[in-house]
Structure 1
Amino acid sequence: MPAGEWSRRRTVGESALTAVVALLAAGTEELLGGEGWQLAAVAAASAVLALLRRRFPATVLVVTAALSPVVSGLGPLLLVLGWSAGGHIVGVGRALYAFIAAYVLNVGATLIVAWEHQRMLTVAFMATLYYLGTTLAPGLAHRYWAQRRTLLHALQERNVRLVRERAMIGRNARLRERQRIAQDMHDSLGHQLALIAVHTGALEVDRELTERQREVVGVLRNASVTAMHELREVVGILRDGTEAADPDTGPVGTGDESGRAARGIAGIEGLVDSARAAGTPVTLRRIGDERPLEPAAGHAAYRMAQEALTNAYKYAPGAAISVELRYEPDTFVVEIFNEEPPAGPAQHVVSGGQGLAGLEERARLVGGMCHAGPADGGGFRVAGMLPYGSAPTGEAAPLVDAADDFRQQSTKPFGGKSRPVPVGEPDWSFTERELAMALHGGKTRSTGGSIALGCGIAFAALVVLVVAAGLGLYYFVGSVQDAMVEPAKYESIEVGMAEKDVRPMLPDGDSLATMATAGEGAPPEPKGAACLTFLSTEMSDDFDTEPVFRFCFKDGKLIEKKAYEVRP
């Protein structure tokens, strides 16, 4: 899709994603203490960054990673930007530099924000885990997914080209064979028919022949001339798939002065007239608006009518025959029906048994179908359905096995388009076929290895992330326990006790959780005293505040203890 042109589906999707990201940013900022214009500013910034992520993926990723420790509402956006940057940053080196820069700035900004607190290595460790889980892991997953899809797309395009080349080779081979057959027919049958026509023409003007003999010789000459024209038509079809006859534009007679018989749909009326002249009751009906057929399809319709009428003469002498030509919206239908003969079916009729089978084959070759069989209520029916347009000469067989990963292949351009799909741009038709292939268990030696390798890498990365997250969670839970004091223990400690007796009763306080005690609402510390602050194990009634216990020591004694609430 050209730059600047979005489809309706993509426009709706981007709008929905932008709205969701803006709401998440504002909600996160509000949960962490933001209010008023600050929420609107964070939501607007998230929306703008989300819209720019495709055009400037590396820049947006680095900027957001640097700002997210300072502006907490931008945290959820990192998940979207990590996924998007993994598929849209062109080049492995550029993507590597972008993710490294984003990591350094993100961890650096986190350390600056937490500079007043202790345990900087712990802060860096937790920031690294957060970056790996929210940014790097989605980026790697999307990049692998996009590259695999691009690779499969290129392989399928190559396979389609191979299929087309094989189809061209097959068509050329068929054309050469048809031309050879046409040449043999022209050289052999054409020569013999020409001799018959010449000799019968000379006999027709011989004065020694009687009038009856001249009439018979004239019939033979006309038959030989007609056979020569039919031979030329067949040779033309064999050579280039088209008849020598003009396209069917309307009914014509059974022949012209040269003895050439009309072929195609136009010639069916001549067959009916001939049958009527022989005393057979035949009716002809045309239904629908007449449309021209391709020469090969028109010739097939003519042969169907000819063979059906011939069979009716042979097997049902004297029976009424109806011929119906229907111009349907998508196909042309020729139907010949003969009723039960008055004297019953003819007996001992000599037949080769190939006529109806030949009609089915002729219809198939032009992309149609033919049915012949007894009709309901008696009689016999032959019906053919033929296409108006040209039919393919045959689909080439796939170059791969049916169980191969390319069993979804088509001779059409991939996805209905000839353009390559850019990295990161979703191609849902191809994705659906990938899913279908996976569900049916399609495997190949080439793509199967890459899929297994990619799945192994993804699984290993997932295991590492889970282990790291588990260790981080275990450490964090232990760290939180080192920063909390029970109310009962607070009550048991009295002012004036020796510091050496109070210290063992309290946690060491060296925990990230103690950062939550440094908020608004803390009273000033006594001058010259060293104070320890801890969280209470009980929750506050107010969701926005945290209960805190503070113990201040001076000169080896506990000089003050306070319980208060702070707003983080």
Structure 2
Amino acid sequence: MLPGTVRPTFVARDETKEGGRRAAVLSRVGRVDAEAMMRAGRDWLKGPEPWSRRMLAGDLTIAGVLALLGLGVDELSKSSDVKMVLGAVSVFALVLLRRRLPAATLVLGAAASAFLPAVFLVTIVLGWSGGRRIVGVGRALCAFVLAFLASVALTLVDQWSQMRPVLTVVFTTLLFLAATVMPGLASRYWHQRRTLLSALQERNDQLVRERTMVAGQARLRERQRIAQDMHDSLGHQLALISVHTGALEVDPALTGRQREAVGVLRQASVAAMHELREVVGILRDGVEAPAPVDEAQPAARGVAGIAGIVEAARAAGTDVRLGTAGRPRPLVAACDHAAYRIVQEALTNAYKHAPGSAIAVELRYEDDSLVVEIANGPAAGRGSGEVVSGGQGLTGLRERARLVGGMVHAGATEDGGFRVAGVLPYGTEPAGAAEEVAGGVADDFGQRSQARMLALRGGTRAAPPMDWAALDRELSVPVRSRAGGVAMGCGIAVAALVLLVIVLGAGVALLVGSANNAMIGRSVYDGVHVGESEQDVRNRLPDGDSVLTSGLEHKGPPRPAGADCFALLSAEDSEMTSDTVFRFCFRDGKLVDKQVYEVKQ
């Protein structure tokens, strides 16, 4: 075989592979395009509303129920199979498209109901959907007017040869008002009320947020003012105390004991300046201010710091004894700080109200709590100078202990002394009861804890930042509006029901009148004879202008040529499956033929 004959074979194979790859690529592109088109169609179908699987299942369920009811209506109206199929397809199409095209489906549904009896029930759903989803009063009015005109006009076209035009217009108008307009008005009112309540709720939330921000800013400004006053007044006095005690400490005229006592005073003033700086920083910014590196750090404010304040009291000449019982256990930060403050406040009260008396401080680690007890004896003598007291120390201790799940008891002892005892749990404090700041120590003022702020301001005398009663009154307004809305909705429903009853009553009255105008007895039929004048016969018979007799004269035996015939129903011999029909035919002013026959229903 020549080389030239082999090469085309490989080329053909390469072209075949390339063609297969190209076909595969085109197939994948086609699938991608088909999927994209399906997604686009689904997005277009659901419209601006989020169409979840639940909503789709609900729409399909509604369409299925209405389609089954429509088939029943078609069966009662003796519709053809083609009309039944078209009615079911129209029901599903209109229900699924009503979210995307509310106005168009409303007009199309009203027009189709003139020819397809199964579509009539869907107009209720379309009226409800159109009243809610058609944007603008003008557009909604135009859509409902067009739907009404289409329904009336096409019903006239369909029933022109069988019914009176005036009755057709009146009956169609009443049905349209009851089945389409009333659901549309109720839906529009419900949707507008729901939108209004949503807007009011959103605005109320915004006002509450703005009021909270304004209240927070006011509290921040007040805290800053208090911080500035504390810094300007207490800071100046503590600085003077520190300067004078520092100068006094190096006075050569003092003895060693006196110099040691002055040193304790200077350290106390420095520690007080540190705590004042921390409090001022918390009031201003909500965080502790860092201490300068050239000054001594403040004492630890926890159980570990109790020994320090006891030693400071001893150095100042006070007889203070510290005892510990049980196995020491760690406490959470808030409880640890509360124990320190209980001891500090109790020692301060003893200094002021029982100067010179012995003080006993005891820490007992029980199984579930720490018991802190401070007891002092009666005063050894009258204190010098005025005792300055704000009267809020013990109240603040009780509130501080309550916030961490503990308690504080204070009262006089039998020997004339005073006793303060606190019980503090080991476990985690209640949420929001205590705050921790830098270094894991709870701050004195606790601006981030509303309950502790209330405690340090004097318990219940401080007002909370949010007026919850006023907020409840504001939120209760939509509840009262909801009652009024329910009453209005019930009124609309009752009006729709009354209108529907009126329509049904008018329909029943029309049918009864039509039946009286379309039926005769057998004796009346037998009393009419061929050859009598047309005028005499018509005077003795009803005119037969009724929906019940429409088209009956064309059924039965053949009619005489050139004769004008009309049919009446038998009032006696009609059965459930067939009707007995009496037909009278006239020609040239005389009765030329009369027939009796059965017509299946």
TM-score normalised by structure 2 residue count: 0.67
Aligned: 1:137 with 2:182: yes
Contact 1:272 1:282 in 2 (8 A): no
Distance in 2 of aligned mates of 1:149 and 1:471: 35
In the superposition, relative to structure 1, how do residues 39 and 478 fare at CA in structure 2: closer, same or farther (>3 Å)? Answer: closer
Contact 1:530 1:553 in 2 (8 A): yes
> Paired residue for 1:551?
583
Aligned: 1:234 with 2:279: yes
- The residue type paired with residue 322 of structure 1 is Y
**1:132, distance to aligned residue in structure 2 (A):** 0.8
Deviations 1:390-427 (A, max 9, x none): 667955337968555x427xxxxxxxxxxxxxxxxxxx
> Paired residue for 1:111?
156
Deviations 1:359-398 (A, max 9, x none): 576699xxx6755368xxxx96346523388667955337
1:32 to 56, 77, 83: 77
In the superposition, relative to structure 1, how do residues 122 and 519 fare at CA in structure 2: closer, same or farther (>3 Å)? Answer: same
Aligned: 1:124 with 2:175: no
Deviations 1:262-301 (A, max 9, x none): 45xxx455448978992233655458xx9xxxxxxx6x65
**1:354, distance to aligned residue in structure 2 (A):** 3.7
Percent identity, please. 40
Distance in 2 of aligned mates of 1:549 and 1:109: 30
Aligned: 1:508 with 2:543: yes
**1:2, distance to aligned residue in structure 2 (A):** 8.9
> Paired residue for 1:171?
216
2:371 to 335, 338, 347: 338
1:397 to 451, 458, 467: 467
> Paired residue for 2:140?
95
**1:257, distance to aligned residue in structure 2 (A):** 7.1
**1:233, distance to aligned residue in structure 2 (A):** 1.9
TM-score normalised by structure 1 residue count: 0.70
Contact 2:70 2:121 in 1 (8 A): yes
Contact 2:579 2:598 in 1 (8 A): yes
In the superposition, relative to structure 1, how do residues 489 and 245 fare at CA in structure 2: closer, same or farther (>3 Å)? Answer: farther
1:372 to 407, 421, 425: 407
**1:465, distance to aligned residue in structure 2 (A):** 2.9
Deviations 1:201-221 (A, max 9, x none): 333344444443333223222
Contact 1:483 1:514 in 2 (8 A): no
> Paired residue for 2:325?
281
> Paired residue for 2:299?
261
Distance in 2 of aligned mates of 1:181 and 1:88: 58
Contact 1:182 1:238 in 2 (8 A): yes
> Paired residue for 1:407?
476
> Paired residue for 1:422?
none
Contact 1:485 1:536 in 2 (8 A): yes
**1:234, distance to aligned residue in structure 2 (A):** 1.6
Q: How does 1:133-282 map to 2 (within 5 A)?
A: 133-244=178-289, 258-262=296-300, 267-271=302-306, 278-281=322-325
> Paired residue for 1:529?
563
Q: Which structure is higher in RCO with an 8 Å CA cutoff and minimum separation 6?
A: 1
Contact 1:308 1:382 in 2 (8 A): no
Q: How does 1:455-534 map to 2 (within 5 A)?
A: 458=492, 462=496, 465=499, 468-469=502-503, 472-473=506-507, 475-485=509-519, 493=527, 495-496=529-530, 498=532, 503=538, 506-515=541-550, 518=552, 522-534=556-568
1:322 to 354, 357, 365: 365
**1:146, distance to aligned residue in structure 2 (A):** 1.4
In the superposition, relative to structure 1, how do residues 347 and 203 fare at CA in structure 2: closer, same or farther (>3 Å)? Answer: closer
Deviations 1:119-175 (A, max 9, x none): 111011111111111111111111122122222333333333333333222222222
Distance in 2 of aligned mates of 1:48 and 1:360: 73
Higher fraction of helix: 2
> Based on CA coordinates, which of the two structures has the bigger radius of gyration?
2
Give the gaps of 5 or more residues in structure 1. Answer: 247-254, 291-297, 325-334, 409-433, 442-447
> Paired residue for 1:51?
96
**1:88, distance to aligned residue in structure 2 (A):** 0.5
2:62 to 17, 22, 26: 17
1:561 to 595, 598, 601: 595
In the superposition, relative to structure 1, how do residues 400 and 258 fare at CA in structure 2: closer, same or farther (>3 Å)? Answer: closer
In the superposition, relative to structure 1, how do residues 533 and 163 fare at CA in structure 2: closer, same or farther (>3 Å)? Answer: same
- The residue type paired with residue 407 of structure 1 is S
Q: 1:385 aligns to what SS in structure 2?
A: coil
Deviations 1:457-513 (A, max 9, x none): 948965983685266246424433334426555675555484566545543323334
RMSD: 4.5
**1:31, distance to aligned residue in structure 2 (A):** 3.9
Give the gaps of 5 or more residues in structure 2. Answer: 1-45, 312-320, 351-358, 380-386, 410-420, 436-447, 454-463
Distance in 1 of aligned mates of 2:303 and 2:554: 100
> Paired residue for 1:418?
none
**1:230, distance to aligned residue in structure 2 (A):** 1.4
Contact 2:570 2:582 in 1 (8 A): no
How many pairs align?
Answer: 487
* Range with bigger deviation, 235-244 or 222-231: 235-244
Distance in 2 of aligned mates of 1:23 and 1:275: 91
Distance in 1 of aligned mates of 2:116 and 2:303: 85
Q: 1:184 aligns to what SS in structure 2?
A: helix
> Paired residue for 1:381?
423
**1:98, distance to aligned residue in structure 2 (A):** 0.8
